[in-house]
Structure 1
Amino acid sequence: MIRTESLTKVYNKVKAVDSIDINIEKGQVCGFVGPNGAGKTTTIGMLAGLIEPTGGKCFIKDIEVARNPIQIKRMIGYLPEGVGFYSNLSARQNLRYLAKFYGLKDAESEARITELLEYAGLKNVDKPAGAFSRGMRQRLGLARALLNDPEVIFLDEPTNGLDPEGVIQFRKIIKEQAAKGKTIFFSSHILDEVEHVCNTICIISKGKIVTQGSLDDVRNKMHKDKPMTIKIKVIGMMPKLTDPGIIDATYNDGSATLRVQSDIVNEVASELMKSGVRIRELKVEEESLEDIFLETVYRRE
């Protein structure tokens, strides 16, 4: 659904985006993460047809964006990081004005706007957009991004300024849109947010893609040739384990933490059962997205 081929953008001889290749399938929710200045907003701008690439190509549904920007804009929704509206107009009036660009008829437009204002938590808000809080502007921006019922949705730091209730609502909306088959690509520096709603991630640093794939794929890449941790809890005393795959271990009365070179959970379970030990918990401790991010970006710089 979203694909790039050596996509590049150069500003003043500096490569803001450097020959990146991305492939996002239909219905996926992809978290695009990276430090400030990594090239996230520039990439989204090119994918949305707002910035012309210096080199390479990007496609939405196999349609080249740079060659068909108007067609692409009819297919996508976009919430920019610095969302702006006509300050003297209400939320409804802003959406009503924007609906004209999509050729929505008045009755269709009003029904869609009413639905989206309720969806975004702005149903009973009548004051001008210029009096909105940042969180309210983000909510209105999300409604605008969904106005044309797009197949692909681009969101740039969408939860900025949202209160906890707004963040929960955002998660709900993203999951509902993905369930409808929408493809969602959003950047964020809030790693916990990405982990909550995404089924795939793409990490960018200094304009280059460092790693991409499902959370499990990325974890597996990071664990390659690297020790992993197994946590064990048992009923009663924890015996010493003898599996040769154990690098080292820390034992307590009813638990143990193992550092191992590969996943030997089944072997450990078998050894414990043969010893007559009842297992309460036995699992590989997965790295959080924050751990992955730090490993792939900051420790490589």
Structure 2
Amino acid sequence: MSTQAITVENLTKSYGRFRAVDGLTFEVENGEVFGFLGPNGAGKTTTILSMLGIIIPDGGRIQILGMDMAREPLKIKERIGYLPENATVYGELTAWKNLEFFANFYRMSNAEKENRITELLKRVGLWEVRYRKAKTFSKGMKQRLLIAQTLINDPELLILDEPTSGLDPEGAHLVKEVIREAKAEGKTVFFSSHVLSEVEELSDRVGIIVRGKLKAVGPIGDIKRQFMELEGYEIKVETKEPLPEIGHEDITRLERVAPNRAIIFARSDIREWLSKNLSSRGITILSLEIEEPSLEDVFLKTIYGREEK
């Protein structure tokens, strides 16, 4: 059995002269949560719709759960759950009828449908309003119903496009819990989001796409280390005694914030050298740590910054 839930190879798609996706290649492992990032117009939605068989790419190959999307789209769709960014519910139908409508697309007995709908409505907190028409729901309640709809077939792979967009904190918390539960159950989650702290919190790995090309992919820690190697290290040091003058060829700037505290900007991780140097001069180190960038720092500086050059 393949260890990849998603394999995208050399995916290309153009609209006239505009190339939305340009030779995109990446893999998503079974059972992992993969965050897909990029600015507006980067090609995220085109990639997702190609993965779902909704858009036919100009070139490349897509495999989902070990099956070729071009050859077995219906079999694939039976095993995935998809939540579009701007999905809507059927307002004239009740919460129960909305889920029943989608359950009818899958091979489920009446008893299985009833049990699944009951389970999901309770899970998303809509059991008490199951017979109310969806048009009377708040945006958050509608999103809860859409989440239940996405899970109706107990999918092996969840593809979520901006799943917390416009939600209140309670609704966003529910979405994150669904993602965590899916991972705990061994399912795979592929999701895009503009909330970078959310991606950092939930993802095992991320992919960053800009102008149709993949700029970075891997565990967040690895991407941050690559960023620091390129942009430099920010090292905070605090000592018991006043800090003496520090000289090293890789130090680009030193900011003293107190007689015994400083922030050192360096081209490499000089903590080991710094520790030995200060200790040899009789200086007691109280703390010595690298200020790790957030995913937002990496995203803004390495993606938007480079694109402006």
Query: TM-score, normalization: structure 1?
Result: 0.93
- In 2 relative to 1, CA 241–123 (structure 1 residues): closer, same or farther, beyond 3 Å? farther
Residues 152 and 184, structure 1, Cα contact 8 Å, conserved in 2: yes
Structure 2 Cα separation of the partners of residues 125 and 97 of structure 1:
17
The residue number in structure 2 matching 1:94 is 98
Using the TM superposition, name which of 137-146 and 235-244 deviates more: 235-244
The residue number in structure 1 matching 2:236 is 231
Shift of residue 271 of structure 1? 3.4
- In 2 relative to 1, CA 265–172 (structure 1 residues): closer, same or farther, beyond 3 Å? farther
Mapping 1:237-276, distance limit 5 Å: 237-251=242-256, 252-276=258-282
Structure 1 Cα separation of the partners of residues 222 and 234 of structure 2:
17
Residues 85 and 162, structure 2, Cα contact 8 Å, conserved in 1: yes
Shift of residue 167 of structure 1? 1.4
Structure 2 Cα separation of the partners of residues 172 and 280 of structure 1:
39
Residues 83 and 137, structure 1, Cα contact 8 Å, conserved in 2: no
Secondary structure at 1:31 match in 2 = strand
Select which of 194, 198, 201 maps to 1:196: 201
Letter of the 2:198 counterpart? E
Letter of the 2:272 counterpart? N
The residue number in structure 1 matching 2:67 is 63
What 5-or-longer segments of structure 2 have no aligned partner? none
The residue number in structure 2 matching 1:146 is 151
Residues 65 and 76, structure 2, Cα contact 8 Å, conserved in 1: no
Shift of residue 278 of structure 1? 4.3
Shift of residue 242 of structure 1? 4.3
Secondary structure at 2:262 match in 1 = strand
Structure 2 Cα separation of the partners of residues 115 and 269 of structure 1:
57
Letter of the 2:268 counterpart? S
Shift of residue 56 of structure 1? 0.7
Tell me if 1:290 matches 2:296: yes
Tell me if 1:124 matches 2:128: yes
Aligned sequence identity (%): 44
The residue number in structure 1 matching 2:215 is 210
- In 2 relative to 1, CA 163–235 (structure 1 residues): closer, same or farther, beyond 3 Å? farther
The residue number in structure 2 matching 1:110 is 114
Shift of residue 73 of structure 1? 0.3
- In 2 relative to 1, CA 140–235 (structure 1 residues): closer, same or farther, beyond 3 Å? farther
Secondary structure at 1:21 match in 2 = strand
Structure 2 Cα separation of the partners of residues 89 and 133 of structure 1:
15
Secondary structure at 2:100 match in 1 = helix
Tell me if 1:185 matches 2:190: yes
- Please tell me the root mean square deviation across aligned C-alpha atoms, in Å: 1.9
Secondary structure at 2:183 match in 1 = helix
Letter of the 1:121 counterpart? G
Structure 2 Cα separation of the partners of residues 270 and 114 of structure 1:
64
Structure 2 Cα separation of the partners of residues 111 and 237 of structure 1:
69
Using the TM superposition, name which of 264-273 and 151-160 deviates more: 264-273
Query: TM-score, normalization: structure 2?
Result: 0.91
- Give aligned pairs, total: 301
Q: Show CA shifts across 1:217-241 (max 9, x none).
A: 2122223343211112334533443
Letter of the 1:10 counterpart? S
Residues 255 and 263, structure 2, Cα contact 8 Å, conserved in 1: yes
- In 2 relative to 1, CA 54–90 (structure 1 residues): closer, same or farther, beyond 3 Å? same
The residue number in structure 1 matching 2:29 is 25
Shift of residue 151 of structure 1? 1.2
Structure 2 Cα separation of the partners of residues 176 and 241 of structure 1:
50
Tell me if 1:82 matches 2:86: yes
Tell me if 1:8 matches 2:12: yes
Structure 2 Cα separation of the partners of residues 276 and 90 of structure 1:
74
Residues 36 and 44, structure 2, Cα contact 8 Å, conserved in 1: yes
